[in-house]
Structures are given as C-alpha cells and as structure tokens.
Structure 1
Amino acid sequence: MARNTLTPDQIVRAAIQLLDDEGLDGLNMRSLGARLGTAATAVYWHIKTKDELVRLAGDAVWSEVELPDLDTRDWRPAAAAMAGSMHAMPTWHPWLGQVFGSHLLYGPGKSRHDDHSLALYEKAGFAPEDADRAAATVFVHVLGSVLGAAAQVSLTRRLSRSGDPEKALADTMAAATEVAMHFPRLRERLDGSAAAEYAAAPDLTFEFGLGTILDGFEARLTKEN
C-alpha cells in the first residue's frame, strides 16, 4: 500500500488489531507496515512516533464504550450501562491496561466519554464539582477491576517467550499459597473445597463494587435533596 493511499485511520485500526494480538511489546512500525502491506517508512509519513500511534489507538477504542441516551434513561441504569461497557472495553483490548501506566492518553474519543459521564452525574442531581468526583470514582473502580485481567494476559505473553507459562504460573500460585497458609483467614479459604474458587478472581466483584458505589451516590443525593 503506497503512502499516498494509506490513511491515519487505517494505520490506527491496524495498530489496534496488532496490539490486540501481540500486546504493547509486540507493536512496532515494521510489524505494522507488514500488516498493512507497506514499508515502515510509509507509516512514519502519517504518524511520526510509536508513542503517538499508541495514543491514537488508546483514544480510538473509547468509541466502543456505550454512551446511553440521557433523555430516555434514568441516571442509575444509564450509569450502570456506561460503567459496564467501559469495563468490557479493556477486556477486549488488554493492552490498554499497560498503556494507562506508561503513556499520556488524550483525544476526542476519551473526551467524548468524559463529557457524557459528567452530563450523566449532573442529571442525577450532583453539583458540577461533585459530578466530577462521582465520575472519577466510577472510573477508578472500573480501571481497578480490569487491571488484573490485563496484567494476566501481558504476563502470559511474556512468560510464553521464555518457557512454559502454565508451569510458571502454577509454581507461583503454589509458592503464594504456601505463604498465605500462615494467615488464618487466608488458610480457611485455601484449605478446603472452595480453594480453587477462592484462588480465582471472585465472581461478581465488579458488579458488587459498582452497585455499592451507586447505592452511596443515591443515598447522598437523597440526603442532599
């Protein structure tokens, strides 16, 4: 593909696919050029640096988050839907967890999401400064809930390059369990039939946390009004 027929949008979409397949460590201009059927120099003609490409890709995926119609939905179901959609997005793109900790992200996709989130909590009845805090609280909860899954994908990829990832993870879990058995509440959970279930991520943790946050918002709004 010649550089004059290549577009920035094509490059960003291809970069997202490459990131989904290979993670942040697997993104480079040569691999991206090969995926696009062009030389790496053609990519540089449109996007100058890898960091800029990551920023553009990181912003583009925010368009996948549902922005519920605030004229037809009450604030709480709208907040739950928006948070649930935001929670799913890094699950589809686990590299995003790496990017949050290593790149400065901004752009129209993220700004559109943030503006809608503020509008949602203002509609709920929060003053503008409290709407900021409410939106940030939900964002931090969502981000914290997905980092574990994103880290697992990244770790498995890294371990796959140097050996047997399943064995490395099993050995680590065995060592961690041995340490945890010295602590009574952890020992109770690990020394029984529910040990395998406890070792995995607890079910419905995200939903439990989000419901608790929204309950608190609702109680605060009721008290203030």
Structure 2
Amino acid sequence: MKTVLHKANTRGHFDHGWLRTSHTFSFADYYNPQRINFGALRVLNDDSIDPGTGFDFHPHKNMEIVSIPLSGALKHGDNMGNETVLHQGEIQVMSAGTGVVHSEHNASADKKTDFLQIWVIPDRMNVTPRYETARISNLIRRNEITTIVSPYPGTDRGLWIYQQAWFSIGELTKDSDHIYHFRSPHSFGVYIFVIEGTVVVEGQELQRRDGQGIYDTQTFGIKIKEDAKVLFIEVPAVE
C-alpha cells in the first residue's frame, strides 16, 4: 500500500473577495508540480461564494465535472438550456465533451454557498455534452459508504460519468470502523477527502478538509475518531 497526504492547510488558497477557494491540485493561479492529479482525478476545489455572486458564463471541454453543494444554494445555467438550483443533499454532473458554456452562482441573497467542484479526466474525448442532477440524501445510510457517481448509466445508484470512476460518501459515527473495498481491480487508487470530522485511515489521522490518496492495494481500513462525512473518489490511472 502506498499513500500521498494533502493536509488542508497545504492546499492552494485564494481569497478573491466574493470567492474563497482552496485547490487540492494545481488549478488556475495555483501550480504545484507535485500536485497535478491523482490518477484521473484532476481537480478538487473547495469553494465558498458570497451571496449574489458567482462564476459567470465560461467554457469547458473534455472533462467530467461533478459539483457537490455543502451548504446554501448553487444556481447553474448552461448553453444546453439547463437552469437549476442545487442544495445540500443534491449533486450535479456535467460531461463537457465537445464543449459547453456554463455559469454557477450563489442563488441566495443573504447566505454564502459552499460546494466542492471536482474534475475527472474522461476515458473518451469529444462526447456530446450532457448535464444531470440527482438527490443523493435519500441514498445515504448512516455508517455505510454509499456510491453516488459511477461509470456509465445503469451501473449503480446515483449519477454517472465517462470514466471508470466511483464517487462514494460516508456519514460515519464516532468509534465506528469501516473497510473500503475497491470497486474495480483495475483502479489506480482512492482519494479520501474529509468534508467534516476526524478519521484515521491506516494509521494516518485526517481532519476536516484533509485529503489522502491510497493506491497499490484493494482494501483499506478507516476508523472514525469524531463523527465524520467523508468523500471517496476511486479512479483509474491516466497516461
């Protein structure tokens, strides 16, 4: 088993006034040659947007983009005609493919919106762009690791992307023990991101917003030191 550790305070952090953001991997003005990606996981941004502000229309191409609201209301619009408002307990997936233009704004006039923006390198280029949302709160069971994104339609619960990748969330209680089993023997590794709480993964303590990649194994143990919400992203290698 091999690991890579990314403590929360080592991420690239920027305060743009209306936006406070932390980048686990190199993104925009943050560049770290040791943090380009973890397998097919290319971007993991932890964003907080002030009321009435957001990202105006901008383009993307050939990337699988997953957004997970943590608090507040996230308003999405795109040139495919989609207009949605997402809340905690929901998720959106966008396959940028041949090209898409979209915007993301805080839909609230008085509360900030926090969300994770995650990019996964797809396993095929120039697909027809697509957009989907789903409620995941009704899938999640206490003290279970629940899949919310998987490869291609109909292969699991939740949404799907163009990649052999699985996103799972665990809402896990203090003093419980869990084993993560890789979904595929061909996966490169699993990236663990602690949204809230404190956990211990194979002896390494991870606190709020810490991340750790694990690879060269097919299982690993996780002990919950403090009630936690944990995101697991299992991805293949990329050349």
TM range, smaller chain = under 0.3
Larger Cα-atom Rg = 1
* The structure with more helix, counted as a fraction of residues: 1
TM superposition score normalised by structure 1: 0.23
* The structure with more strand, counted as a fraction of residues: 2
TM superposition score normalised by structure 2: 0.22
